[in-house]
Amino acid sequence: MPCLRHMALENITSWTNNIFSQLTHLFLRGRCVDGFIQTIHEYRELLELLRGSPGLQVLFLSLPDPWIPENMEEIGDKVEVLNLRKMRVDEATPHQIHRLMSNLVLPHSVCLSVSPSRYSGRICVVDNILPKEITPTLHLLLDDITSIEMDFIVPTENVRDDSVLDRLIGVGPAGAFYTHACYASSAIYTTSHRLQAIEASIRRLHTFKNLTEIWIDGPDTEQLRVWLAWDPNTDIWRPAFAGLARLEKLVLQNSLFLDVVTALAPPSDFKVDPAIVIAASVTPCPYLISLWVAAETDTLMNARRNLCDFASRRHIMTGQPFPQLLLRSTTGTSAEARMYASLARVRGDDDETGFVGLQKHVATFAFVDKFPTGRFELPAMASESCIRMGREYWPKWREDMKE
């Protein structure tokens, strides 16, 4: 079948010969077979199918158990799929995803979507798409990513099976990726697993070293401290920010923003000597120009001293007021938030260490009803949907997501 361009194979375990050399679109869905023992032979067959289709543009791989053994040893084969524009792997374990990614040479312009098996819901969402040791084939894609959004959802007692907990989207000038982690009620799932997953995702932010924009939604501070017994002294943000030297914009919505603000401030015990100190070397994210925070009104009011401390320290270190700080209440209007801030000054609860001080240390400080812009634009392919036999194989990346 040398002229075949589009091919879909479902409920299969193997094929005998690769006679498909002109494929541009390939859909493979395996199946779980009791007693079937995968070997490296099946995996090599899969790689040869991809190698024999140099013009491949779209690849969907679902339930890869027949071809990628869970504990397969590493092999050195590298398969170039340089014309690939769209790739999705779903119902796979992180190990299977990492194994395949380590053997493929992907173009940095690929649009990649990964959905792990349901039982891996307690795994770090970043680990779904990145192995702990980054393979050379992923460096081009990672270096291209300039914008990321992370959504964390702390489950309640009413969480249902297959509920999405975490989402991660990365977009660059050429390529993009999407992944999520799911909760399965049948899985062994504890608060410590959840805490470890959130911490690991945040700690690995530095992997994307060229980030200029980050949007983080959740986890809510009180949710974490009550539900997970979060240690307020846990510093997971400062190490993450240490590797994000190009970050310009950070948006925090219902997040642990006090911890984040503290991590963005230069060390309080650092002595400034302009003659010998380069401010950028000790200021986290030295090119940060916009910090947008959305939280409940009471939370914003109670955070005024933390925010002022952050802004004043950066002002002292850089010699310039922090460029932009916007606060949005999730429980009231901007007018109501300004009224509460004014009442605090009248009562004597606000001074140079609060909102009054922010006026001096921030060039543009305001309470807003809506942030000036929404989340960053996604590539056109991210809004597409592919449904086959009633099953969605390419979900919309932002469906049912907050803007």
Contacts of 389 (CB under 8 A, 6+ apart): none
DSSP 254-285: SS-HHHHHHHHSPPTTPPP-TTT--GGGTSSS
**CA distances (Å), origin 107, targets 83, 104, 140, 192:** 7, 10, 8, 37
The values of phi and psi at residue 391, to 5°, are -110, 135
Closest CA to 99 of 63, 121, 131: 131
The mean-pLDDT minimum among 42-51, 134-143, 253-262, 282-291 falls in 134-143
- pLDDT higher than 70, residue 399: no
Average pLDDT, integer, range 323-338: 94
Task: Band the pLDDT of 18: cuts 50, 70, 90.
Answer: low
Q: What is the structure's pLDDT at 292?
A: 96
pLDDT in tens, 277-300: 444 457 889 999 999 999 889 888
- pLDDT higher than 60, residue 184: no
Amino acid at the residue 208: F
Q: Pick the more confident residue, 270 or 361.
A: 361
pLDDT in tens, 225-268: 554 455 555 567 888 888 899 999 999 988 766 778 888 888 76
Using CA atoms, how far apart are residues 113 and 61, in angstroms rounded to an integer? 11
Average pLDDT, integer, range 97-108: 86
Using CA atoms, how far apart are residues 217 and 330, in angstroms rounded to an integer? 12
Amino acid at the residue 309: D
Query: In percent, how much of the chain has pLDDT > 70?
Result: 73
Q: Pick the more confident residue, 281 or 77.
A: 77
Using CA atoms, how far apart are residues 254 and 43, in angstroms rounded to an integer? 44
- pLDDT higher than 50, residue 133: yes
- pLDDT higher than 80, residue 403: no
Average pLDDT, integer, range 342-355: 79
The values of phi and psi at residue 211, to 5°, are -65, 135
